[in-house]
Amino acid sequence: MATMKSQVTWKTIILPVIGIAAFIAYLQIFQVSIPEIIATIQKADPLLYSLAALLVFVDVFFHSLAWHQLINFLSVKLSVLKSYLYVWYGIYVDIIIPAESLSGEISRIYLVTRMHGNNVAGKVAASLVAQRLIGMGIGTATLLIGMGMLMAEFQINSLIFSLTLFLVIATLFFAFLLLFLCIKKSWTLKIIDWAIRFAEHISKGEWKLAKIKEEAVKLADMFHVSIRAFGHTPRVVIVSIILTALSWIVYLGISYLCFLALNFKVSWSIIITTQAVVSAVKSIPLGVPFEVGLPEITITTFYGLLGVPLGISATATILNRVLTLWLRFFVGFIAQQWIELKALRHLQTA
């Protein structure tokens, strides 16, 4: 049994530093007083902020339950506790290796196959792809709902409308592309064939990949069988959709409580639209690291464009990111260390 090593490289450190510096520069450009932000944070309601911190754990719990529902249906036995810990592990990997959540999903495939064997890899991949499709669907619906609520309450900024429309179209495009790959087995096999040929070409024939291709084809077979199983049992998917929606509602509640902790009442339409935009950007493979700096700038800008004072926008954003990024990072790190230590002990006693 191998253990997974999450190595901290210079990129892991330098990207957050650049992101934080960019956010500070953004605040300076728009003349937002950092001492005033600190003073406002010190006056925040600790009870409401503690409740927001608690919701971080509830959000991840519902998300893990949604995945647990899908993966157990495919006869891959995983306890609720392990599902919860594996999701935290994936969150940690996502943060240190930002790749549109793919790194966290790959880590979960690794963890489950380490426990059950490589023969379940296709099933695990199917459960994660199904969950991603569900998340993209809920995200698109949230964008449309948020925009509808904003149009009923405010005069919409053309930039916000155009960006939201673009994200809806882009999310639907990638969702349908992913769905077609799930439906069309021949497409998946062609991608595998092209990838193997490309690898053999760049290695000038030195890499013998016939065995890897055989394993990849088996994995693809199991993946498509599992996807069809979801299609034949919609009840399982519906339950997962409900749990994912609950997770998303709780996640939105974190942002709302951050404003309440500052004694500032904000419209739910602003929260819904802003967080849906940020989540949509993170889910689309743009190739740009979107964990530290860019999210803070995006959230603060959206709040400001939607009428929230820039000082309050920046303060609420910082409070939110302390919970949804840094608290998640440290809890995920603890989960990762716990899981790997248990795996190491099992390896030593085996």
- Between these two residues, 119 and 250, which has the higher pLDDT value? 250
What's the whole-model pTM score? 0.86
User: What pLDDT band is residue 201 in, cutting at 50, 70 and 90?
Assistant: low
CA–CA gap between residue 24 and residue 18 (Å, rounded): 10
Report the pLDDT value the prediction gives residue 287, as an integer from 0 to 100.
46
- Please list, in sequence order, all residues whose beta carbon lies within 8 angstroms of the beta carbon of residue 54, skipping any fewer than 6 positions away: none
Q: Which of 156, 98, 172, 173 is nearest to 273 (CA)?
A: 156
186 versus 322: the higher-pLDDT residue is 322
| Annotated domain spans of the chain | 43-349
If pLDDT is split at 50, 70 and 90, which confidence band does 286 have? low
Contacts of 273 (CB under 8 A, 6+ apart): 143, 146, 147, 149, 150, 160, 164, 302, 306
Other C-beta atoms lying within 10 Å of the C-beta of residue 253: 18
pLDDT in tens, 161-199: 888 888 889 889 988 888 888 888 787 778 877 877 777
Q: Are 336 and 6 in contact (CB under 8 A)?
A: yes
b/e sequence 278-294, b meaning 16+ C-beta within 10 Å: bbbbbbbeeeebbbbbb
d(CA 191, CA 181): 10
| Range from 15-24, 182-191, 246-255 that averages highest in pLDDT | 246-255
Task: State what percent of residues in the chain have pLDDT above 90.
Answer: 36
Q: Tell me how far apart the alpha carbons of residues 43 and 23 are, in angstroms, rounded to a whole number.
A: 22
Instruction: Determine contact, residues 71/124, Cβ cutoff 8 Å.
Output: yes
pLDDT in the model for residue 292: 63
pLDDT tens digits, one per residue of 23-81: 677 666 655 667 777 787 888 899 999 999 999 999 999 999 999 999 999 989 999 99
Tokens linked to 250:
């709780």
Lowest mean pLDDT among 99-103, 238-242, 253-257: 99-103
